[in-house]
Chains A and B, each alone.
Chain A
Amino acid sequence: MSDELQFRFVHRRGLFSLEVEGRFGANAVNGLYGPSGSGKTTLLRCLAGLEPQVRGEVRFNGDVWQDEAGCFVPPHRRQVAMVFQQGALFAHLDVRGNLEYGLKRTPVAERRLGFDEVVDALGLGHLLARGTPRLSGGEVQRVAIGRALLASPRLLLLDEPVAALDRRSKQEIFPYLRELFRAFHLPVVYVTHDMQELSRFASRLTLMEAGKIIVQGEIHELLARLDLPIAGEESAGALIDGEVAGYDSRYLLNEIRFSGGVLWAAGEDRGKGTQVRLRIRARDVSLALHRSEDSSVQNIVAAEVAALARLANGRTLVRLVVGDTALLSRITWRAQDELRLEPGKRVFAEIKSVALHV
């Protein structure tokens, strides 16, 4: 278990306090999620070495970056690249100059990514000679990410890399991020307050609140738990991993096979055999005792109630087991009582909408 990042920080400044201890997986996209002001960015900055006044300990792959005895490796010697919310490109350099900044300072023997490789992966080829003021928000962030990667970091920290972008720019950058996480095996810590975003990429999840880490774990597991603050959120939902088994070109539906059966997801053909991740929001799942034959809902799977949690607002959150994965459903208290739902009960989950993340 040496191949990971372990940390512990204690810091108080005015009303804000940070008291965290945990670890991030070395070969994973670690999502760091929590409300604004919960200390996510501060934790990230501590890991990068940008908060030297914060006391604590950091170890990465057996190297000590910081300890209580006074050891403190400065940021430029940690080989940690960080992407900030606003890109923070160097205004005096063009795109190429920005991309090459870290590359030039990386000894040739330590370079793991080629310039062309990164430029291609992020689609920056046509922008190289452009000045930074003439880039769109999405392009700025892509350059910032490319610049970070080209420094061949051992750890990549992303601080809400798309939060400043509009919806369209976000959609534009997601495929690049996905490709990047897949192609460049690199531990990543990805900070965001948008679970939708995290559920696309993250394999592990860390939840923060008020300067503390509530829980760390595998993302599918945590998203399916009923006792965490995220369960009460409007966008609460489970993740299901599956594989594209076919495409119905007449109705534009992907056939996704997973351990609990088959689901149909609308959209363009993702290609047979592609591994996909489905996000199914609890509010899009309704429950029935019998399989409905004449419903507009296309995805109906047999499930078993595993646990229930009454939320404060007249809603009940139900965890279902489907195959070997979990599904969440949010129903009303009345529906819970009328269907006499309790752990062990067999039901049919009617899934109104499936978000497909490749």
Chain B
Amino acid sequence: MSESEEIWSAVRLTLALASVTTLVLLVIGTPIAWWLARSRSLYKEVVATLVALPLVLPPTVLGFYLLVALGPNGPGGWIAELFGGRTLAFSFTGLVIGSVLYSMPFVVQPIRNAFEALGERPLEVAATLRATPWDAFWSVAVPLARPGFLTGAVLGFAHTVGEFGVVLMIGGNIPGETRVLSVAIFDYVESLQWSQAHLLAAGMLLFSFVVILTMYLLERRFGRSRW
């Protein structure tokens, strides 16, 4: 594999991982955020804590447990067997699972905040206008929480792109399969290929800057149009 191809393969893989992770997170994070925003259950704070754990846990700790879980003797291994594999570790699927857990707080929290900011009123109004709860969720809650979804998606995507520790623990370094940008940079530095490391690092820096700036600008626009 040529050098530039190596780099591009890492970029492609990173973008694919971040996209899939963000999509999965929007699908499973939304009901979690909804429940956290509206439930009065005592377990709510326990679940909220579990979701927030990756914020404080060293990625290596999460990575270690994931490695065990995804490995041949964990549930991940059993699932892999159904599809003729031996383990989910060191695979793209494994990376997605790890990233989903690792980036979950970044997606769930903004969406939860947006749902909480809605209050009961718009949903009550919808109910008195014949909307079923399911209908009201899609026609009122989701559109009104749009800024929260946007923030969550951007943060989830960006955080997955920047992930390193978990990937290293459960993905290793297989080019084209698990070798994402952050790992590639680490490799280049280790093998003293400074120019490639510079290129990727600067690219990441620029990318992160643009992403966050875009988010702030969009938030400002949404903020204005709403009031």
Q: Which residues of B contact A82 (CB under 8 A)?
A: 124-125, 128
Quick check: B130 and A88 within 8 Å, CB to CB?
no
Quick check: B127 and A50 within 8 Å, CB to CB?
yes
With both chains docked as a complex, state the minimum distance between the C-beta of A140 and any C-beta of chain B, in angstroms.
Answer: 13
Interface string of A146-166 (1 = CB under 8 A from B): 011001010001000000000
In angstroms, Cα B135 to Cα A157, docked, is 22
**Contact with A76, one of B122, B132, B144, B146 (Cβ below 8 angstroms):** B132
Q: Which residues of A contact B125 (CB under 8 A)?
A: 82, 84, 88, 90
In angstroms, Cα B136 to Cα A320, docked, is 54
Interface residues on A, range: 20 to 34
Interface string of B160-179 (1 = CB under 8 A from A): 00000000000000000000
Which B residues are closer than 8 A to A by beta carbons? Answer: 121-122, 124-133, 135-136, 139-140, 143-144, 146, 225-227
With both chains docked as a complex, state the minimum distance between the C-beta of A128 and any C-beta of chain B, in angstroms.
Answer: 18
Please name 20 pairs of A and B residues whose Cβ atoms are closer than 8 Å in the assembled complex, sorted by A: A74-B133, A75-B124, A75-B127, A75-B128, A76-B127, A76-B128, A76-B130, A76-B132, A77-B130, A81-B129, A82-B125, A88-B121, A88-B124, A90-B122, A92-B143, A92-B144, A106-B130, A133-B226, A151-B130, A157-B128
Interface string of A76-100 (1 = CB under 8 A from B): 1101111010001011100000000
Q: Which residues of B contact A74 (CB under 8 A)?
A: 127, 133
Q: Which residues of B contact A133 (CB under 8 A)?
A: 226-227
Majority-rule SS of B interface residues: helix
- Of A74, A92, A131, most buried by chain B (CB within 10 Å of CB) is A92
Quick check: B121 and A84 within 8 Å, CB to CB?
yes
Q: Which residues of A contact B132 (CB under 8 A)?
A: 76
Indicate whether A91 sits within 8 Å of B128 (C-beta atoms), given known contacts A84-B121, A133-B226, A133-B227. no
In angstroms, Cα B140 to Cα A289, docked, is 66
In angstroms, Cα B143 to Cα A106, docked, is 21
Indicate whether A148 sits within 8 Å of B128 (C-beta atoms), given known contacts A84-B121, A105-B135. yes
Quick check: A79 and B146 within 8 Å, CB to CB?
no
Q: Which residues of B contact A77 (CB under 8 A)?
A: 130
A102 at the interface (CB under 8 A from B): yes
A48 at the interface (CB under 8 A from B): yes
With both chains docked as a complex, state the minimum distance between the C-beta of B92 and any C-beta of chain A, in angstroms.
Answer: 37
In angstroms, Cα B139 to Cα A76, docked, is 14
In angstroms, Cα B123 to Cα A84, docked, is 12
Nearest residue in A to B128 (C-beta to C-beta)? A82
Quick check: A92 and B129 within 8 Å, CB to CB?
no
Q: Which residues of A in the span 62-80 have a Cβ within 8 Å of any Cβ on B? A: 74-77, 79-80
Quick check: A50 and B130 within 8 Å, CB to CB?
no
Quick check: B131 and A92 within 8 Å, CB to CB?
no
A174 at the interface (CB under 8 A from B): no
Q: Which residues of A in the span 1-54 have a Cβ within 8 Å of any Cβ on B? A: 48-50
A181 at the interface (CB under 8 A from B): no
What 8 A-B pairs are tightest by C-beta distance, nearest first?
A: A102-B129, A75-B127, A105-B130, A92-B143, A82-B128, A151-B129, A76-B127, A88-B121
